[in-house]
Amino acid sequence: MISLFQPQVGDEELAAVAEVVASRWLGHGPRTAAFEAEFAEHLGVDPARVVFLASGSASLFLAIESLDLGPGDEVVLPSVSFIAAANAIVSCGARPVFCDVDPRTLNPTAEDVAAAITPRTKAVVVLHYGGYPGDVERIAALCRDRGVELVEDAACSVASRVGGRACGTFGDSAIWSFDAMKVLTTGDGGMLYVRDPDRALRVRRLAYHGLAQLSGFSGAKSSRQWWKLDVQEPGRRVIGNDLTAAIGSVQLRRLGGLVARRREIVELYDRELADVPGVLPPPALPEGHETSYYFYWVQLADGIRDDVASDLYAAGIYTTFRYEPLHKVPLYGFDGELPHSDHLATRTLCLPLHPGLTDADVHTVVSQLRKAVEARTTA
């Protein structure tokens, strides 16, 4: 089976994990701090404002929780988003308000976001679809003008930039995911960036039960009774650990090569699919935009996408659609029409994309896609 995603880990990651095991310190410790500092340098931000956590979803929940939302508050987000974003909003008692997206990029425009903002809007969560930055500069300016918080869901955008500036640094906070399917993986894990220094300290406390210090061992250097509890507000335990952080440090060093191979695969897809009738590749990146090349999506004629996906699966090629529009989920109680989201949800398909693909794999995907589309179009 040609997989949609596949983690790229090997001897370097194994050696890093072996060092942690040999040190006998597996939990939150020096390698976690090192990974946070390295990732902060990658972003160009203060490492004190970057926190390594157990997952991207945990990071997103904590980012939303730190906004102190409640009943009557609204948070705008694109309907084409991962379900964690809406769940994080609902868990705080606030209401998710979904906006539409551009039908080709699957990212919201500033106009899409503005149309959904009301006097009750406290925040906007924006996803960079497939690692493509989208309209983040204009959305950030809009949020500043309207006085609402901007949370960047940069889960797919670890290497994405606009004008040389890292995605995730345009808003007030941002999260990244390092699960097994992502461009940079730690097996599972996530990173949270908070621009405000006081709030950054707060989320670090909330990530470990609200304790002012993470470790009694480190507290022994400054206190005679280091076991005393200093809890300013309740939190939960979602901190990262040195085992996964060690993998993250290696992956971050390898990131340029991983993204370069992804770019080669995307360029090969673009060339091979340029003349395939009925298959629309992703649009070109705007000038100054850099992507992480997380998704490669095509758009097909209405009515054939599901059959094409089944044909590809039967041929040993796994595809999917990400993300099913959230405004259709009854739990979230959204009452409105988002025509672009509805339309693209019936015709978009994500093809395999990861550095483990060979050129021959890509040619196989393209050949089988061409065959399936032709069969379903002429049937």
Q: At a CB cut-off of 8 Å and minimum separation 6, what does 50 contact? A: 36, 37, 39, 40, 43, 191, 192, 193
How many Å is the maximal CA-CA distance in the chain?
79
Per the DSSP assignment, residues forming a β-bridge with 77 are 98
Helix (H) or strand (E) holding 312, with range, is helix 305-314
Q: What are phi and psi of 117, to 5 degrees?
A: -75, 135
- Give the whole-angstrom CA distance, residue 1 versus residue 351: 13
CB atoms under 10 Å from CB of 318, counted, come to 15
182 is an active site residue? yes
Strand order, beta sheet including 165-166 = 165-166, 161-162, 289-290
Q: Whose CA is closest to 70, among 122, 34, 11, 3? A: 122
Token pair of 359, please? 């050129």
Q: Which of 340, 361, 377, 327 is nearest to 112 (CA)?
A: 340
Q: Degrees (nearest 5) of the Cα angle 359, 306, 272?
A: 25
Contact criterion met (CB below 8 Å) for 5 and 181: yes
122, 182, 221, 328: the active-site residue: 182
Q: Is 237 helix (H, G, I), strand (E, B) or coil?
A: strand
Helix (H) / strand (E) element for 88: namely: helix 83-91
φ and ψ of 74, to 5 deg: -125, 150
d(CA 207, CA 205): 5
**R_g of the chain, CA atoms, integer Å:** 22
Q: Is the distance from CB of 345 to CB of 81 less than 8 angstroms? A: no
Any idea which residues carry the catalytic annotation?
A: 182
